Amino acid sequence: MADGEHQSARDGQQPGRLAVFPVYRDNPYLNLMLLAPRASGWRVLESARLERLEHDLAELQVGDVIHVHWTAPVVQRASSPSEARARLVRFKQAIEAARGRGARLVWTVHNALAHDARHEDLEIELSRFLAGTADVVHVLNSKTDEVVSPLYDLSKRTIAHIPHPSYRGVYDGAGSRDEARASFELEEDDLAVLFFGQVRPYKGVDMLIDALGKATPPGRIVLMLAGKTSSEDVRVVDALLPEGLRTIRQHDFVHDGDVKRWFDAADVAVLPYRRILNSGSLHLAATFGVPTVLPDEPHLRGDFGAERWIRWFRPGDAGSLAEILSQPLPPRGTARDFADRLSPFSISRRYDDLLRNLVA
């Protein structure tokens, strides 16, 4: 970007550069959030690796913004503690150098800590660095500061609460519910229970399977699992499944054009997570009007307790989840007002306002 363009950014007339890290091509969240900033003129720099981030930050200055999202690529990709420590030092140095030239820093707290962290002590140190350095901490759940307080302190930071957008308008494909169910050979009285997203141990799929063995709904239960799964975790799921439980499984990435079919076919989506701060799957379910079952965590109740399309089970309790799945569920479509309130462009405009105010 030319010097004159940077001067206009400093004068508040033209946005500067926005370095976003990490950017995952298969995660639509960032594409939705960046709709308004791209439209208003921010020059978005995308990186998924630490090396690329260092390159992107090398020339940032006044009028530019660094936005850090998920932290796992910094230290969790290291094969040894010494390598993880070296990567953390490099990350800190790159951030501090850019801020020293006038760039501002935003951190979005997607998770209290990176999932399945191998170098947990360094992950906590990284989170504390961001908590102590960020000009603005962006949270999707309004109670994030309370959830993370045992690990790091956000009390002295400027916190911006901008919730996760729905996916309204993103996955609105063709096809009907009848066609979707027929494609999976689901009968009218089948209760199709959907788990959508990466199948990983911390997400509680084992407890969901246990609960389905105890549930007594009026129809036959069919477990639908859809999401990328490691070969090791596929073997774990294979060992957990009892005889007699019908399953429909796709242990691989679900392409955008096929997402609607899975949710159209489902009667209920379940998030049996052992640890959850935020989840895009919740907003996917809302977008398609699918009733959803969540663990009864205080921070989730705080943001979603008034939603009629959500049911709650005691965290980690398969019997409690089985009881919920044995009862009548909210009708499909109840969540559509929720999805409309959180439409992608309206949420993205709030994010664009945050960025503009930050460099004003």
Mind listing the pLDDT tens digit for each residue in 287-328? Answer: 999 999 999 999 999 999 999 999 999 999 999 999 999 999
Mind listing the pLDDT tens digit for each residue in 117-168? Answer: 889 999 999 999 999 999 999 999 999 999 999 999 999 899 999 999 999 9
The predicted pLDDT at position 19 comes to 98
Distance CA 196, CA 88 (A): 32
Q: What pTM, to 2 d.p., does this model score?
A: 0.91
Distance CA 100, CA 59 (A): 11
Distance CA 134, CA 108 (A): 10
For the cut 50, the answer to whether the pLDDT of residue 10 exceeds it is no
Say which residue the tokens 């009548």 belong to.
328
The predicted pLDDT at position 172 comes to 67
For the cut 80, the answer to whether the pLDDT of residue 12 exceeds it is no
Confidence of residue 1 (pLDDT cuts 50, 70, 90): very low
Confidence of residue 13 (pLDDT cuts 50, 70, 90): low
Q: pLDDT averaged over the chain?
A: 93
**Cis omega before residue 22 (within 30°)?**
yes
Confidence of residue 286 (pLDDT cuts 50, 70, 90): very high
Question: Which residues are CB-neighbours of 231 under 8 A, at least 6 positions away?
Answer: none
Which tops the pLDDT comparison, 200 or 288? 288
The predicted pLDDT at position 25 comes to 79
**Which among 84, 83, 69, 82 has a CA at the least distance from the CA of 123?**
84
Give the number of other Cβ atoms within 10 Å of residue 293's Cβ: 23
Q: For residue 118, is it left (φ>0), alpha (ψ between -120 and 50) or beta?
A: alpha
Least confident of 99-103, 170-174, 263-267, 337-341: 170-174
Mind listing the pLDDT tens digit for each residue in 96-123? Answer: 999 999 999 999 999 999 887 889 999 9
Whether 60 and 98 have beta carbons less than 8 Å apart is answered as yes
For the cut 50, the answer to whether the pLDDT of residue 341 exceeds it is yes
Whether 219 and 191 have beta carbons less than 8 Å apart is answered as yes
The predicted pLDDT at position 9 comes to 42
